[in-house]
Amino acid sequence: MQVYIEPIGRLINEFTKLPGVGAKTAQRYAYKVVNMTEEEAKNFAESILDAKRKVHYCKICGNFSEGEICEICKNRTAETICVVKEPKDCVAIEKLAEFNGVYHVLHGTISPLNGVGPSDIRIRELLERIKAGGVKEIILATNPDVEGEATAMYISGLIKPLGIKVTRLASGISIGTDLEYADEVTLARAFVDRKPM
Ligand code: ZN
């Protein structure tokens, strides 16, 4: 028996594709959409398409960008590069207003168990940026979990021989916590107290 009429069933199905949205929440979201005005529903749908059309990855750092090069890469010098796993980590660090350098988004961490090797994340691109010159420090800000640590160790091993200062966020963020969930005071302290690797 079909519980929902087709358009509602379809909408619920779409919402369940979002992270953390189960069947009940998806149903609540779908009913909310059905009760929106035509205008509200149009804005909602258009914002999804707009984000999809306009958001790209910055050619230099790999963070989200509207243009080919993001505003951070355009406006800051690349003397210090903060290496993170995902674009959302840049947001967590930008919120601290503590960092004036640029980012490098790896889009993943090394994870042999999941079949992710060094060549599957943006390590080669990081080395190219360093070879282009002018970089004085690389801050490894991958998450303090097993994969994040392994990735930091691997990158450090590649970069240190090039004579560039490599630092790692100080401990204080509990093991297994994503950067985005670390509280701002803890993250800011980890940043200021970063240690040479
Ligand atoms: Zn950029």
Output the CA 39–ligand 1 centroid distance in Å.
Answer: 35
pLDDT value at 1 more than 60: no
Instruction: Using the mean position of ligand 1's atoms as its centre, give its distance from the Cα of residue 63 in Å.
Output: 6
> How much distance in Å is there from the Cα of 64 to the middle of ligand 1?
8
The dihedral built from the CA positions of residue 91, 93, 99 and 101, taken in this order, carries a sign that is negative
How far is ligand 1, taken at its centre, from the CA of residue 65, in Å?
7
Residues 25-31, mean pLDDT to the nearest whole number = 97
Per the prediction, the chain carries an average pLDDT of 92
Token pair recorded at residue 145: 């979990």
Question: How far apart (Å, rounded) are the C-alpha atoms in residues 51 and 66?
Answer: 9
Check residue 172 and give its pLDDT.
Answer: 62
Confidence of residue 12 (pLDDT cuts 50, 70, 90): very high
Q: What does the pLDDT look like over 97-125, one tens digit per residue? A: 889 999 999 999 999 889 999 999 999 99
Centre of ligand 1 to C-alpha 67, Å, is 9
